[in-house]
Amino acid sequence: MSREPFHYSQEFARQLDKEDELARFRDEFYLNSESIYMDGNSLGLLSRRAERTLLEVVDAWKTQGIDGWLQGQYPWFYLSEKLAALSAPLVGGSEDEIIVTGSTTTNLHQLVATFYKPEGSRTKIMADELTFPSDIYALQSQLLLHGYDPSEHLVQVESRDGRTIEEDDIIAAMTDEIALIILPTVLYRSGQLLDIERLTAEAHARGILIGFDGCHSVGAVPHHLSKWDVDFAFWCNYKYLNNGPGGAASLYVNRKHFGRLPGLAGWFGSRKDKQFDMEHQFVPAENAGAFQIGTPHILSMAPLIGSLEMFADAGIENLRQKSLHITSYMIDLIEQELDGMGFTIGNPRDDLRRGGHVCLEHVEAARICKSLKENKIIPDFRAPNIIRLAPVALYTTYDEVWETVQRLKAIMLEKQYEKFENTRDVVA
């Protein structure tokens, strides 16, 4: 694949597509030929493999009934563990440290209920002021359950520029009052990738447990959670991993914490051989499976089988290489073609600090997003002024990136956005 410097012609974009070793995966997705999809960091597209495995699981239900729990190609009783094994290479954990279960926020509640143990002066939880609101709601509620005032016991590290969080500022806030730290791997607005390894080491040097929300990185950025000694992590599977709307989420627990009782116990966290004994003495699984609560959402897990098989074929390192290249190309193209039109690139330029999407800031962002949709470009708006564009490595072409920027340029030159209100829709 061609490297820097980039050129700005459509011919150059199409040449990059010819050199793209991942181009073959595009044909596996259901794409709308009349539009360009740039919202895969919010909801990934359906692939034929995901559709196939969903239908296979539905067929097992249709033909086998309750016997589907132990029979068929994908026995439901072990499906969470099968998916954990397929997920392991993406996050750098062993398969027994991962489980596919629940939703992102439910898993966060489980992990905080398990690992937040206020004692003495260590009573506070640390987060950051730019994190996704759902995480903050969960942390506030967990503090209230312990009888603490979130306004005093939830420490949110401030941003210097409103876009990014400096690791030095996070480390400086790691005082002896902090019992637990929850941070995003990638900030959902700006796409900043935090230095997970460094932050984990600094937290542990101060006796603090640390966990990460990987919703905006898993499937786009390789991680090495076990090597970095991360205590725990959690993520959704419907963004870069294309598991479908509301699809089951995942969590990771470092094996050094195996044997710890889950804060929220449920029957599917039982050891497999004890689960159906129906005794009133909880015997937790000896791995991350202990942190399951209820019966797995089988139909919302089924598409992930096919999707993760595709990730195994593509390789997360290859996906990261293309993701960095195509987002860099988009940023350069924006700066070339949209100069003087009021746009600001909000995400870091350094490859080591950038996730999988481009953060484009503009005072008229909400109106511009509506105009982009009218022009058959599917973006994502985030308040107050951010247009997120995600050229996803598995199915976005360089030609689509070029076309997106050209249509955006026309929108600005012709002031097409002025006919819309500068307010978000109900679903942004």
Q: Which residues are annotated as a binding site?
A: 104-105, 132-135, 213, 216, 238, 267, 295
Q: Find all residues with CB under 8 Å of 168, minimum gap 6, and list them.
A: none
Relative to beta strand 358-361, strand 250-253 is unpaired
Relative to beta strand 232-235, strand 250-253 is antiparallel
How many C-beta atoms surround the C-beta of residue 267 within 10 A?
14
> Identity (one letter) of the amino acid at 347?
N
Question: Distance between CA 224 and CA 426 in Å, rounded?
Answer: 37
Kind plus residue range of the DSSP H or E element containing 98: strand 98-100
Residue ranges of the annotated binding site for pyridoxal 5'-phosphate are: 104-105, 132-135, 213, 216, 238, 267, 295
Residues paired with 387 in a beta bridge: 360, 381
Contact between 83 and 100 under an 8 Å Cβ cutoff? The reply is yes
How far are the Cα atoms of 71, 127, 234, 291 from residue 253, in angstroms, in the given order? 29, 19, 9, 9
How far are the Cα atoms of 318, 420, 424, 427 from residue 373, in angstroms, in the given order? 30, 12, 13, 14
Question: Distance between CA 336 and CA 376 in Å, rounded?
Answer: 22
Question: Distance between CA 271 and CA 289 in Å, rounded?
Answer: 8
Question: Distance between CA 173 and CA 331 in Å, rounded?
Answer: 33
